[in-house]
Amino acid sequence: MTSDVGHGQRSSAIGLAQVCAAGLLWGTGGLVVTVLNDRHDLGAMTTSAWRMLVATAALLGLALVARRLGSVVATFRAQPALVVALGCCTAVYQALYFLSVLAVGVSVATVVSLGLAPVLAAAWEHTRAGTRPTAREVVVLVSALTGLVLVSVASAGHGGAGDAPVLGIVLAVASGAVYAATTVLGHHLARGIDPLALTTCATSVGAVALAPFLVVAALGSGPVISTEPDALALLVYLGVATMALSYGLLYAGLRTTSGSAATVATLVEPLSAAALAAILLDEQLTATAVVGGVLILAAVVGLRPRELPPAPT
């Protein structure tokens, strides 16, 4: 009995570390998108499409080498509607997020989008179950909404790091809503599906959904891709590290941890993104924005379920 408990604790610890690692990788995504836009004039939708395509190629190659293509096909056949929904939500979420990053800056977009998502997910769960939130949950929601208002006001009043702060906030809120749906759906599917198969299926669907934007870029005035070595390296990093690897880690971690693991990931990502933006992009957050961000992150922490005491022996 003791051995089983110890094994379960180790599995949970490993799963939690996997989800946190995914959050750290996600936190670098907005920074890379900003660099690609500033230095190589690659738009958010074009970058999103390449990110998905590179990730799909990497995942299919890995599945082929590992002889898991059969599992990928079986996963899609078993849950076609849910897999397509997960892939489309993933594509929409990242596209909205990247657009928000270019409009309002990495720090604000990340804190609003990833901080708001767990709050929206909790609200959805109560609505679906027909239950009322507890007093603690009400405090959490009020804190999150207050923080969102403060971050929005600070961004609109001081211009943020982008050229369209109000639009950026709207896009970040929409991104957070779609991300909440993605997390709930992904957690449901990850329980019974191989992580590599689920990640490959969802990413492939997302790549198909975003591929038309490369055609739009080709027909327009913007570049479809840059041939500069640093740009190509960043696109590969976006696809392999912040998409294929990070989502594989997320789905693997959700198999052995509770739903609060997604909350931990959303805490790690805004913090890592904000730190990188301040260090590498010289983004400056006002005191109001910092207070708002702290309130949103405190609300996310408050959503974590309380641990139950161990059962008596």
- Examine the pLDDT at 310 and tell me if it is beyond 50: no
Percent of the residues in the chain that have a pLDDT greater than 70, as a whole number: 78
- Residue 187 vs residue 272, higher pLDDT: 187
Cα(76)–Cα(36) distance, integer angstroms? 33
pLDDT at residue 91 above 80? yes
> If you average pLDDT over residues 146-160, what whole number do you get?
63
Q: Is the pLDDT assigned to residue 52 strictly greater than 90?
A: yes
- For 135-159, the DSSP string reads HHHHHHHHHHHHHHHHHHHHHHHH-
d(CA 72, CA 18): 21
Q: What's residue 265's pLDDT? A: 60
Categorize the per-residue pLDDT at 205 as very low, low, confident or very high, splitting at 50, 70 and 90: very high
In tens, the pLDDT along 216-251 reads 888 877 788 888 999 999 999 999 999 999 888 888
| Lowest-confidence pick of 43-47, 78-82, 143-147 | 143-147
Residue with tokens 């989800």: 19
pLDDT at 56: 95
- Identify the weakest region by mean pLDDT among 75-89, 172-186, 250-264, 295-309: 295-309
Lowest mean pLDDT across 90-94, 204-208, 214-218, 273-277? 273-277
**What is the full DSSP assignment across 275-299?**
HHHHHHS-----HHHHHHHHHHHHH
Q: What is the pLDDT of residue 237?
A: 95
DSSP annotation string for the chain:
-HHHHHHHHHHHHHHHHHHHHHHHHHHTHHHHHHHHHHHH---HHHHHHHHHHHHHHHHHHHHHHTT-HHHHHHHHHHSHHHHHHHHHHHHHHHHHHHHHHHHH-HHHHHHHHHHHHHHHHHHHHHHHHT-PPPHHHHHHHHHHHHHHHHHHHHHHHH-TTSS-HHHHHHHHHHHHHHHHHHHHHHHHHHTTS-HHHHHHHHHHHHHHHHTHHHHHHHHSSS-S----HHHHHHHHHHHIIIIIIHHHHHHHHTTTS-THHHHHHHHHHHHHHHHHHHHHS-----HHHHHHHHHHHHHHHHTSPPPPPPPP-
Average pLDDT for residues 274-303, to the nearest whole number? 71
Q: How far is CA 104 from the centre of its chain?
A: 17
pLDDT at 159 over 50: no
Name the pLDDT band for 158 (thresholds 50, 70, 90). very low
Q: How far is CA 246 from CA 50, 162, 187, 228, 240, in A?
A: 16, 27, 15, 25, 8
Asked whether the predicted pLDDT for residue 27 surpasses 50, the reply is yes
pLDDT at position 97, please?
Answer: 85
Q: Does position 162 have pLDDT exceeding 70, yes or no?
A: no
Residue 311 has pLDDT above 50, yes or no: no
* Residue pointed to by tokens 């500069």: 228
pLDDT score of 161 more than 60: no
